[in-house]
Every structure is written in structure tokens, then in C-alpha cells.
């Protein structure tokens, strides 16, 4: 679920309206994903803003077209279903998604787009060198995403954050393990090493050109896309928890108790974007009530469970 500030920023992004209030009007989950419809008032009118898990944010005018949050939700989900169906069967859109990214590495893709936009202004070698430097930063950030420190075995030394080559190598040992994946593992490693080496060359070469910068971006984008596909394959097979907001794998299980008179909670929390959701609540028994024990539960108290986050 988005925050009030994110919803307000979305409305105000064109600079034409100022949000005076924004509050969640209604939540839906009848079609699977959790979706929230916000009631937003501005200095020029009123809007319904629809957003949720894996659902793009969009706004709809209140009054003449969409009288209720339910109408806005129904229209939005129908529209998104049609768009997703069209994309799934359009080869051009599928290719564009592979080339320009999914929502898994949002920060990585943002920097990659910055490098692509800089191509139009390259007139001097220094400009091309700047693109090479940005591509290096993209690969360094990618290395932190594809290999979390907790995934490094005790026998291996954890690579430094800027050591992209070794982080990619260790990541591939998990993402493409086994004899049957030897070819894809070797090809991806060589492409990753080559992209890093060429990005360093473009960064430091005094004769770098616009064409060099274009090749550098192409190689870097290919490496990012490869790791996105490999992670998607492994996560689907292993059921790895991913953040429904930003798709990061930096999701942790945290036990907390806000106050002594409040129940203990277990939450899933994303350390990348800040998303969190309660997955379990342990409520203390009322005073004077003898809590029955479940057979075979080792004497543990029964817990009231809320809906768990689906794992991809």
C-alpha cells in the first residue's frame, strides 16, 4: 500500500494541482492482489487514486464519471487486465520489457535510463566517459541486489560492495547451479565480466565516443536483464519471499511488541523500500482465562493468524 505522500506526489507530479487531503477510502482483494482506492481532494477537484500489489497507480475523476470507489476499482482492474493480456501476446512489448526492464531492480533501471538519456547530449569524450561511469555504478548496485551478504557461504569471503565480478560469480553459483546450467552460467559470467571491463574502459579512455557509450549501455542492460530472468526463475522454483511493492528480496521477518499491553506481532519488512505487513499476531489470553492447549503443539499457545504474504 502506498503512503499518503506517494499518492499526493502522484497527483501533483504535473504541477497543476495541490493536494489538500488524501485518505484510503476502501480496500479490495477479491481478485487476488490487495488494492486500495484513495479519496483525494485538491484545490481544483476530487479524484479516486487506485493502487496496490503489482497494480500500476492511476487516477480517476469523481462525480461525473466515477461516483464511487467501487466503480473506480472495477474500471481500473478491468483496464489493467486488458493491458496485461495485450502485453503478454505482443512480441514487441515482450522484447521491450526484456530490454528496458521489469520492476525487480527499480533503482538499477533508473540509473540505466539516466545513462541512456545522456546519449543525446554527448559531444565530447568526457560526456561518453560519464556514461561509462554511470554504467559502472549500475553494475555495482546490481551486484548488491543479486547477492545478499547472508547468501554467502561460510567457506567464501564476502566480496566488497564494489566487487561486481566476484558478486556476480557467487550469485551465478546459486542462480545457475548444476551441470545442466553450466553453459548459461559460463556465458552469463563472461558477459558480466565483459560489461564491467568495457564500462571501466569507456570511463577512463580519453578517446571514448558516443558509439562506445551506446555499446556500454547495451552490454550493461543485457547483464541486468539476464540476472532479472535468472532470479525470477529461481524465486519461482524456491518460493523466495519478495517485496510486493519493489520486488526486492531484502525482506526480513521481525518480531515486535509496541507496548506491554499490546499483542506481539510478526511482520515482513522490506529494508529496501520500507514496505511492511503483519503476518502473525500473538494475542495474550485474558486474565483468569485458562487457555486450552492444542494436542501435539508442545504446549504452545494458539495464535490468531492474519493473511500471509504470498511468496513468488
Q: What is the pLDDT of residues 231-285, one digit of tens each?
A: 877 766 555 567 777 767 677 778 877 777 777 788 888 877 778 888 776 655 4
What's the grid cell of residue 51? 493502487
Residue with cell 566480496: 159
Q: Does 104 lie in the same domain as 83?
A: no
Taking the CA atoms of residue 289, residue 290, residue 294 and residue 300 in that order, the dihedral angle to the nearest 10 degrees is 80
Q: Using alpha carbons, select from 121, 299, 308, 143 the residue that is nearest to residue 220.
A: 143
Residues 217 and 159 in one domain: yes
Band of pLDDT at residue 12, cut at 50, 70 and 90: confident
Q: Is 234 in the same domain as 268? A: no
Q: Is the pTM of this model over 0.75?
A: no
Residues 49 and 162 in one domain: no
Per the CB < 8 A criterion, the answer to whether 184 and 176 are in contact is yes
In the prediction, which pLDDT does 276 show? Answer: 82
Q: Is 163 a member of any domain?
A: yes
109: its cell numbers: 533501471
* Residue 244 included in any domain: no
- Cβ neighbours of residue 23 closer than 8 Å, sequence gap 6 or more: 4, 38, 39
Q: Domain containing 290: what range? A: 251-305
Of 39, 61, 89, which marks where a domain is finished?
Answer: 89
So what's the pLDDT on residue 88? 53
Cβ(79)–Cβ(223) below 8 Å: no
In-domain check, residue 312 = no
DSSP 62: B
The whole-angstrom distance between residue 14's C-alpha and the CA centroid of its chain comes to: 24
Same domain for 119 and 73: no
Same domain, 232 and 102: yes
* Final residue belonging to a domain, choices 209, 238, 267: 238
Query: Which of the two residues, 237 and 124, has the higher pLDDT score?
Result: 124
Tell me: do 106 and 231 sit in the same domain. yes
- Do 40 and 115 sit in the same domain of this protein? no
pLDDT exceeds 50 at position 59: yes
Residue 209 lies in a domain: yes
Q: For the segment 220-243, what is each residue's pLDDT rounded down to a tens digit? A: 999 998 998 888 777 665 555 677
Rounded distance between C-alpha atoms, residue 163 and residue 103, angstroms: 24
Q: Helix/strand/coil (H, E, C) string of 154-185?
A: CCCCCCCCCCHHHHHHHHHHHHCCCHHHHHHH
| Mean pLDDT score of the chain | 80
**Do 109 and 223 belong to one domain?**
yes
Number of domains in the chain: 3
Amino acid at each position: 500500500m502506498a503512503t499518503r505522500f506517494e499518492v499526493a506526489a502522484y497527483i501533483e507530479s504535473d504541477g497543476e494541482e495541490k493536494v489538500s487531503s488524501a485518505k484510503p477510502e476502501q480496500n479490495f482483494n477479491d481478485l487476488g492482489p490487495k488494492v486500495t482506492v484513495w479519496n483525494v481532494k485538491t484545490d481544483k477537484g476530487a479524484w479516486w487514486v487506485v493502487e496496490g500489489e503489482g497494480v500500476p497507480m492511476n487516477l480517476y475523476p469523481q462525480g461525473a464519471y466515477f461516483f464511487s470507489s467501487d466503480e473506480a476499482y472495477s474500471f481500473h482492474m478491468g483496464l489493467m487486465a486488458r493491458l496485461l493480456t495485450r502485453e503478454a501476446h505482443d512480441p514487441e512489448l515482450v522484447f521491450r520489457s526484456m530490454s528496458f526492464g521489469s520492476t525487480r531492480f527499480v533503482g538499477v533501471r533508473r540509473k540505466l535510463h539516466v545513462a541512456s538519456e545522456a546519449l543525446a547530449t554527448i559531444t565530447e569524450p568526457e560526456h561518453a566517459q560519464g556514461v561509462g561511469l554511470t554504467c559502472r555504478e549500475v553494475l555495482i548496485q546490481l551486484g548488491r541486489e543479486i547477492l545478499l551478504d547472508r547468501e554467502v557461504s561460510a567457506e567464501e569471503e564476502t566480496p566488497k560492495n564494489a566487487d561486481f565480478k566476484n558478486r556476480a560469480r557467487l550469485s551465478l553459483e546459486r542462480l545457475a547451479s548444476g551441470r545442466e546450467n553450466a553453459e548459461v552460467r559460463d556465458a552469463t559470467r563472461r558477459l558480466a565480466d565483459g560489461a564491467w571491463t568495457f564500462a571501466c574502459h569507456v570511463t577512463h579512455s580519453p578517446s571514448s565516443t558516443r558509439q562506445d557509450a551506446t555499446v556500454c549501455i547495451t552490454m550493461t542492460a543485457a547483464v541486468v536483464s539476464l540476472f532479472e530472468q535468472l532470479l525470477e526463475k529461481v524465486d519461482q522454483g524456491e518460493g523466495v519471499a519478495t517485496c510486493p511493492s519493489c520486488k526486492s528480496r531484502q525482506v526480513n521477518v521481525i518480531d515486535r511488541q509496541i507496548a506491554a499491553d499490546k499483542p506481539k506481532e510478526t511482520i515482513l519488512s522490506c529494508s529496501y523500500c520500507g514496505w511492511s505487513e503483519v503476518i502473525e499476531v500473538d494475542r495474550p489470553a485474558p486474565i483468569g482465562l485458562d487457555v486450552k492447549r492444542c494436542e501435539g503443539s508442545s504446549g504452545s499457545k494458539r495464535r490468531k493468524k492474519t493473511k500471509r504474504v504470498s511468496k513468488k
